[in-house]
């Protein structure tokens, strides 16, 4: 009679074991789902940050304009200094104000070996930009990207404006790791920014197209001086 009123010790142990197994399985499944969800969130945040970076850099460089200043000999010179790891120019799409800014992009190496992209700027209306070698006190600073294995710039353009106006097949625009407006009397036709992420993520690039007739700004500058 007592057998019908409850569980035996063996039955109770079996029941407890089954419940423990169910709980363990549920906990493991929950942990796996949580980890997967966390990874998806991390990937989403990473891609969102990359999309924002692409928009900012492309917008900034798309807005780069020919700007004429004076060189050391006081001759008209194009204000554009492009290096593999830095870029100094004027853009109508400044990131700090949304208006025309003199800006500098700098790739800086961090202590952990990764790289960051720094943006510095000052509104053009707050500075008298007149010399190619002038010291600029930037008033704005933004960290656009960090944690990359490599960041660098490439420039596609004519070596000299005389090569462009020659209209000869002997001269063609090509890619450069450095591009100086003071040498070419132009700004480049294109600028590519390369971002190298972790090997598993690969690299991506942003190519911005600029004014292909930038040399004509010298004519406007000279006319305004007359």
pLDDT digits (tens, 9 = 90+) for 4-54: 555 576 767 777 777 777 777 777 676 766 666 555 555 556 566 677 888
pLDDT of residue 96: 95
Q: 206 has which bridge partners?
A: 193
- Judged by DSSP in three states, 72 sits in coil
pLDDT of residue 147: 87
- Name which residue leads in pLDDT, 163 or 16: 163
Q: Based on the structure, what is the number of domains in the chain? A: 1
39 lies in some domain: no
Residue 23 neighbours by CB distance under 10 Å: 10
pLDDT of residue 18: 74
pLDDT of residue 38: 57
pLDDT of residue 180: 96
Rg over alpha carbons for the chain, rounded to the nearest Å, is: 29
54 lies in some domain: yes
Phi first, then psi, for residue 204 (nearest 5°) are: -140, 165
Say which range, 42-56, 59-73, 179-193, has the weakest mean pLDDT: 42-56
75 lies in some domain: yes
pLDDT band at 216 (very low <50, low <70, confident <90, very high): confident
Burial (0-12, 13-18, 19+ Cβ within 10 Å), 223 = exposed
24 lies in some domain: no
> Angle CA(38)–CA(41)–CA(45) in degrees, nearest 5?
140
199 lies in some domain: yes
Compute CA 161 distance to the chain's CA centroid, rounded to the nearest angstrom: 28
For the stretch 93-110, pLDDT in tens is 999 999 999 999 999 999
pLDDT of residue 150: 94
pLDDT of residue 213: 87
- Name which residue leads in pLDDT, 73 or 221: 73
pLDDT of residue 163: 82
Phi first, then psi, for residue 77 (nearest 5°) are: -145, 145
58 lies in some domain: yes
Average pLDDT over the chain, rounded to whole? 85
Nearest CA to 105 among 150, 152, 65, 67?
152
- Judged by DSSP in three states, 174 sits in strand
Share of the chain above pLDDT 90, in %: 54
108 lies in some domain: yes
Rounded CA separation 3/139 (Å): 87
Q: Which domain holds residue 218?
A: 47-225
* Cβ neighbours of residue 198 closer than 8 Å, sequence gap 6 or more: 149
99 lies in some domain: yes
pLDDT of residue 199: 65
For the stretch 106-122, pLDDT in tens is 999 999 999 999 999 99
> Angle CA(204)–CA(209)–CA(215) in degrees, nearest 5?
145
- The pLDDT of residue 1 is above 50: no
pLDDT of residue 42: 52
Rounded CA separation 106/103 (Å): 10
């Amino acid at each position: 009679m007592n057998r019908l009123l409850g569980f035996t010790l063996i039955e109770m142990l079996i029941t407890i074991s089954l419940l423990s197994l169910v709980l363990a399985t549920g906990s493991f499944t929950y942990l796996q789902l949580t980890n997967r969800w966390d990874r998806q969130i991390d990937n989403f945040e990473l891609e969102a940050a990359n999309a924002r970076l692409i928009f900012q850099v492309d917008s900034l460089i798309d807005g780069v304009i020919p700007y004429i200043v004076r060189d050391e000999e006081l001759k008209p010179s194009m204000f554009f200094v492009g290096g593999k790891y830095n870029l100094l120019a004027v853009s109508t799409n400044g990131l700090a104000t949304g208006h025309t800014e003199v800006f500098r992009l700098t790739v800086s190496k961090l202590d952990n070996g990764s790289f960051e992209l720094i943006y510095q700027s000052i509104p053009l209306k707050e500075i008298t930009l007149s010399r190619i070698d002038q010291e600029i006190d930037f008033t704005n600073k933004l960290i656009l990207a960090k944690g990359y294995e490599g960041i660098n710039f490439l420039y596609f353009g004519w070596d000299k404006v005389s090569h462009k106006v020659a209209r000869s097949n002997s001269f063609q625009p090509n890619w450069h790791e450095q591009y100086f407006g003071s040498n070419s009397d132009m700004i480049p036709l294109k600028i590519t920014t390369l971002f190298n992420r972790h090997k598993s993520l690969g690299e991506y690039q942003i190519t911005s197209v600029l004014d292909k007739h930038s040399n004509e700004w010298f004519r406007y500058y000279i006319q305004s001086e007359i």
